[in-house]
C-alpha cells in the first residue's frame, strides 16, 4: 500500500470531487445543463432502470430531463462514502447517493443508489466517460431492493 | 479527444485485460482462489443481489464460494464490449458479462450483467479495489430485469 496517490489527495482528485458536487447541485435544481456539464459526448451509462445501457450524452440528457420533470419540486440528493482516485488522465469515483422528493403522480421517492463513475481527462478537463448506477435485487423475490440504506 | 492513452493501449491496460480474463477463467472453473487472486484486501463490492455493499476480500470470497456451489457443473461466462483505461496507478474497466449454467436446484441461469471494476496499482501489481455488478430494474413492475441482452 505504498502508492502515495492513495494517501494524499491530488489536485485531480479534488477536481473530480468538485465535478461530483456540481452534478449533485444540477440534480437538486433539476437543471439538466448543469447536471450534464461534465459528461463526455460518447459516455456509456448503466442506469438504475431499464434498458441495459444508454450511449451518448444526448441520450443521457434526455433521460435526465424526463426524470427531473417527474418531480414536483426540488430533488433531494445526499452523497455518502465518496471515494475518488485519479492519476495520469484516468479517474474513478464511487459512493452511495440518496434521492428524495415528491413525484408529480402524488407519490414520494426515498431511495439509496450505488454509483460508480469513470473519468478521462480530455483536452485538459475531466469528463465522465462511463457511469454505473444501480440497486441490488432480492434473489428470493426477483424484486429490486429500493429500501436499503448504507 | 487528444489524450494518447485513449487511443493506444498501454501495457497497464493489457495487464488489466489479463486480470479480467484470469477472473473469468476462475469463475468458469468455480475456483474461488483464482477468481479472487486480483482482489485487494479492502475491496468494496456492489453486487447484483442484496445487500447494498460487501466490504473486504474475505467477504467477497465467501460470497463467490456460495454462488459457485449453487451450480451443477461449470459456469459459462461471456464478456462483451470490454473497455479498459489505466494510467499512473489508477484504472477502470467495464463490460457486459453473461453467466450461464445449470443450478443444483434444477433450474438454469442465463443472464447478462453490467460490470464496472476499479483498480489501483499496489506494490507493483494491479488490484481490484472496487467492483460494481448489476442488472437494471423495470420501474413499472419493480422487478429486476434478468432477460435483457446487449
Query: Does the distance separating the beta carbons of A148 and B112 come in below 8 Å?
Result: no
Q: Please tell me the pTM assigned to this model.
A: 0.92
Model confidence at B125, pLDDT cuts 50, 70, 90, reads very high
- pLDDT, residue B7, reads 44
Model confidence at A64, pLDDT cuts 50, 70, 90, reads very high
Query: Does the distance separating the beta carbons of A86 and B91 come in below 8 Å?
Result: no
Query: Does the distance separating the beta carbons of A136 and B47 come in below 8 Å?
Result: yes
Chain B residues touching residue A5 (CB < 8 angstroms): 88-90
Chain B residues touching residue A87 (CB < 8 angstroms): 87-90
Task: Report whether pLDDT(A8) > 80.
Answer: no
**Per-residue pLDDT averaged across B73-90, rounded?**
97
Chain B interface mutation, best of A1, A98, A136, highest count of B Cβ atoms under 10 Å = A136
> What is the signed CA dihedral for A102, A108, A111, A116, rounded to 10 degrees?
-40
- pLDDT, residue A112, reads 98
b/e sequence A86-109, b meaning 16+ C-beta within 10 Å: bbbbbbbbbbbbbbebeeeeeeee
Q: Which helix (H) or strand (E) holds A32?
A: helix A32-35
Query: Does the distance separating the beta carbons of B120 and A85 come in below 8 Å?
Result: yes
**Per-residue pLDDT averaged across B34-50, rounded?**
96
> pLDDT over 90 for what percent of chain B?
93
Task: Report whether pLDDT(B5) > 70.
Answer: no
**Per-residue pLDDT averaged across A3-23, rounded?**
78
**Per-residue pLDDT averaged across A42-52, rounded?**
97
Query: Does the distance separating the beta carbons of B48 and A138 come in below 8 Å?
Result: no
**Per-residue pLDDT averaged across A137-144, rounded?**
96
Model confidence at B4, pLDDT cuts 50, 70, 90, reads very low
Q: Which helix (H) or strand (E) holds A60?
A: helix A57-69
Coil, helix or strand at residue A17: helix
**Per-residue pLDDT averaged across A126-134, rounded?**
98
**Angstroms from A109 CA to nearest CA on chain B:** 12
**Per-residue pLDDT averaged across A81-96, rounded?**
97
- pLDDT, residue A10, reads 61
- pLDDT, residue A5, reads 46
Among B53, B122, B146, beta carbon nearest to A3: B122
Task: Report whether pLDDT(B96) > 50.
Answer: yes
**Per-residue pLDDT averaged across B5-24, rounded?**
82
Chain A residues touching residue B126 (CB < 8 angstroms): none
- pLDDT, residue A3, reads 43
Residue whose cell numbers read 491530488 = A10
Amino acid at each position: 500500500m505504498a502508492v502515495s496517490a492513495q494517501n494524499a489527495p491530488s489536485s485531480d482528485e479534488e477536481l473530480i470531487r468538485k465535478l461530483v458536487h456540481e452534478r449533485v447541485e444540477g440534480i437538486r435544481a433539476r437543471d439538466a445543463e448543469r447536471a450534464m456539464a461534465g459528461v463526455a459526448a460518447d459516455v456509456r451509462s448503466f442506469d438504475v432502470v431499464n434498458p441495459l445501457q444508454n450511449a451518448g450524452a444526448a441520450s443521457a440528457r434526455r433521460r435526465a430531463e424526463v426524470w427531473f420533470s417527474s418531480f414536483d419540486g426540488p430533488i433531494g440528493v445526499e452523497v455518502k462514502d465518496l471515494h475518488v482516485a485519479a492519476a495520469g488522465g484516468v479517474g474513478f469515483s464511487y459512493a452511495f447517493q440518496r434521492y428524495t422528493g415528491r413525484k408529480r403522480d402524488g407519490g414520494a421517492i426515498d431511495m439509496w443508489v450505488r454509483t460508480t463513475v469513470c473519468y478521462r481527462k480530455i483536452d485538459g478537463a475531466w469528463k465522465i466517460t462511463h457511469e454505473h448506477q444501480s440497486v441490488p435485487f432480492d434473489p428470493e423475490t426477483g424484486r429490486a431492493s429500493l429500501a436499503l440504506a448504507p
